[in-house]
Amino acid sequence: MVSRFHSRNGTCGSGTAPADHPPDIKALLWEMLRQVPRGSVTTYGALADSLGDRGAARAIGSLLSKNPTPPDPPCHRVVYADGRTGWYKGKGKGAEEKISLLRNEGVDVREGHVDLEKHLFTDFQTIPVLKIMMAEQLALSKQIDFDGGPLPDTLSAIDVSYDGDTAFAARVDFSLSDGSEIGRECVRTTVEFPYIPGYLSFREAEAMRSLLMDDGRLHLIDGNGILHPRGAGIASHLGRDGHRTMGAAKSLLTGELVGRSIIIDGEERGRKVGKYYVSVGNRVTLSQAEEALTRLLDMGVDPSRRAHSEATRFKTSV
C-alpha cells in the first residue's frame, strides 16, 4: 500500500512508496569478494566485467568504499587495473592499512603495486546482471510508441532528491494552456540499487512510477528517453506500461548536437530546448515534447526545476 500526500497549489507532506526490487548489486559484490582467495587480488574492472558491464567499475569502487564491516567482505583485495593498491575505506584513506592486510595474506606489494600476473583472480561465479539489464533496455527500445495522439493540456514534471538511500520523489502538475500549477504529489521510498551510469531507470523508476497518472497527460521525466546509449532511458522505462512520457535531461549521454537537433546514426533522436536535452519517452512525438516544454518555458515556468525544488523541499520537511 502506498501512502501519499496530494495538494493543489500547496506543498507536499510526508508519504511513502514501496521499494523496488532490482538486482541486489551490493549482495552480489559481497559474495564475489568472498570468492577471492587469501593471497590473491582482483580489480574493479574484473568485478564489473563479471557483472556484465566494464563501465560499472567506478560505481563498484564507490560501493566498496562504503563497506560497513571490513575486512569482511575483503574489499582490500581489490586493486586497480595497473596493480596499484589504491585506497581503503574511502577516497584518500587507509592506503598503508590496505598494503599491510595484503602483505599479511601473502601478497607481494612493491612500491604500492601488486604483481597481477602472480596474484590476479578473475574466476568469479556470479550472475551477469548488468548484461541482463542491458538486454532489457535494448528490448524496450524496440517497443516505443512515437505517436500518442494530440498533445494533452496537462504536463506533469517528476524528479527525485536523495538522502542516502532514501528517495524523495515529487510530481508537479501544470496546465499547458496558461502555465498554472494545478496540483502536486510526493512519495518517499528506500532505494537499494546504486547509481551506475546508464542504469538510472533501475535506481529511480519505482519511486517515480508511483507518481504516474493514467489520464493521458504527458509526464516530463528528469532524465533521458531514447537519448540513451541503449535507446531506452528512464523516461522510456516509465512509459512502458502505456503512460505518455518525455525525457528532459541536463546532460547529453549520447549523440551529436547539430544546431538544436541531436543526431544518432544519422537520425534525429532529440532536441535542445533551453538548457535541456529533450527526447521521446513513449507515446509522444519529438515535436510534441519540444512544444510542451517550450510553451511552459516561454511562460516563465521551468517544470523540471519546479519538480526538483519540490522534491528537495519534501526531503528537508520530513
Task: Identify the three-state secondary structure at position 209.
Answer: helix
Question: In this model, does residue 17 exceed pLDDT 70?
Answer: no
Residues 117 and 150 in one domain: no
Residues 206 and 250 in one domain: yes
Residues 225 and 305 in one domain: yes
* Distances in whole angstroms, Cα of residue 132 to Cα of each of 33, 127, 235, 280: 21, 9, 19, 24
**CATH number of residue 163's parent domain:** 3.30.2170.10
Question: In this model, does residue 255 exceed pLDDT 90?
Answer: yes
Q: What is the pLDDT of residues 73-99, one digit of tens each?
A: 999 999 999 999 998 877 778 899 999
Residues 52 and 107 in one domain: yes
CA dist 4 and 168 (Å) reads: 12
Residues 72 and 10 in one domain: no
Among the candidates 96, 126, 156, a domain finishes at 126
Q: What is the pTM of this model?
A: 0.89
Res 128: pLDDT: 96
Among the candidates 87, 102, 126, a domain finishes at 126
Q: Give the angle 67-54-77 at the CA atoms, nearest 5°.
A: 35
* Distances in whole angstroms, Cα of residue 312 to Cα of each of 3, 9, 187: 19, 17, 12
Burial class (CB in 10 A: 0-12, 13-18, 19+), 93: exposed
Tell me, yes or no, whether 134 lies in a domain. Answer: no
Question: In this model, does residue 241 exceed pLDDT 80?
Answer: yes
Task: Give the mean pLDDT of 242-251.
Answer: 97
Tell me, yes or no, whether 132 lies in a domain. Answer: no
Q: Minimal CA–CA distance to 3: which of 163, 187, 221, 126?
A: 187
Tell me, yes or no, whether 283 lies in a domain. Answer: yes
Res 266: pLDDT: 96
Q: On the CB side of 127, how many CA atoms lie within 13 Å of its CA?
A: 9
Question: In this model, does residue 28 exceed pLDDT 80?
Answer: yes
Write out the E strands in 118-260. Answer: 154-163, 166-175, 181-190, 218-221, 244-249, 256-258
Whether 75 is catalytic is yes
Residues 165 and 292 in one domain: yes
Q: What is the pLDDT of residues 95-144, one digit of tens each?
A: 999 999 999 999 999 999 999 999 999 999 999 999 999 999 999 999 99
* Distances in whole angstroms, Cα of residue 214 to Cα of each of 156, 209, 210, 245: 12, 11, 11, 11
Residues 197 and 263 in one domain: yes
CA dist 61 and 56 (Å) reads: 9
Tell me, yes or no, whether 194 lies in a domain. Answer: yes
Q: Give the angle 197-43-230 at the CA atoms, nearest 5°.
A: 25
Among the candidates 93, 126, 159, a domain finishes at 126
Q: Give the angle 10-224-50 at the CA atoms, nearest 5°.
A: 120
Residue with cell 612500491: 111
Domain that includes residue 94, residue range: 25-126
Catalytic residue among 33, 56, 60, 75: 75
Residues 96 and 151 in one domain: no
Residues 158 and 98 in one domain: no
- State whether the Cα torsion 204-144-128-113 is positive or negative: negative
**CATH number of residue 69's parent domain:** 1.10.10.10
